Structure 1
Amino acid sequence: MPIITHNTDLHRFETTIDGITAYLSYTDDGKILTYHHTIVPSQLGGQGLGKALTKYALDHAHHHGKKVVPACGFIAAYIDKNPEYQALLA
């Protein structure tokens, strides 16, 4: 399991492996988190980092009582495949 951190300055959840960073970017309007992009560089592909970042971001929204807008197709597909996150949709 990768170590994922919340970088509030850059508005993203991220993990860095061997000096390469994968991240999920967002905006926060106070009540709704809009998840824009899930970026996993090709050097880090195939490790499940996109799923790990998405789960972390969705759990973050849940724990902070926020709703989610999945502007990223990867995140929308993840929510479709994991119905426990449906209640987070704005």
Structure 2
Amino acid sequence: MNEEYLNLPLVKNQVGMRFELKVGDYTTFIDYKEHGKKIWLIHTEAPEELKGKGAATAVIEKTLTYIEDNGYKLIPLCPLVAAYLKRHPEWDRILDESAKPF
């Protein structure tokens, strides 16, 4: 994760059903669905102004950390999250059994 994002807080917007990372005037987010201790990550989006600057990667990494720290299991539906997980198999530990093999 780019250093500029390290101290930015991840917000779990339960009303909007998305994890958000505010970078200046812009917000990168991941839409999610939650049931019990399972979280489905559905769609990741970064505004044009943040594309190519690592903001989407930062929100993914912070969201995965949140999922692990809070005892959830992940079901990745978002292609960007899925691609990240393929490059970082160490996160397989938080995958729900229904999402394996990934």
TM-score (norm 2): 0.80
List gaps (5 residues or longer) in structure 1: none
Q: Which residue of 2 aligns with 1:69?
A: 75
The 3-state SS of whatever aligns with 1:10 is coil
Paired AA for residue 11 in structure 2: T
The reply to whether residue 88 of structure 1 matches residue 94 of structure 2 is: yes
The reply to whether residue 36 of structure 1 matches residue 25 of structure 2 is: no
List gaps (5 residues or longer) in structure 2: 97-102
Task: Report the Cα offset of residue 15 of structure 1.
Answer: 2.0
Task: Report the Cα offset of residue 14 of structure 1.
Answer: 1.1
> Identity, % of aligned pairs?
29
**CA RMSD, aligned part only?**
1.3
Q: Which residue of 2 aligns with 1:23?
A: 29
Larger radius of gyration: 2
Paired AA for residue 36 in structure 2: G
Counterparts of 2:37 and 2:71, CA distance in 1: 8
Task: Report the Cα offset of residue 17 of structure 1.
Answer: 3.0
Instruction: Tell me the number of residue pairs that the alignment of Structure 1 and Structure 2 aligns.
Output: 90
Counterparts of 1:26 and 1:11, CA distance in 2: 6
The 3-state SS of whatever aligns with 2:44 is strand
Counterparts of 1:17 and 1:60, CA distance in 2: 18
Counterparts of 1:41 and 1:77, CA distance in 2: 19
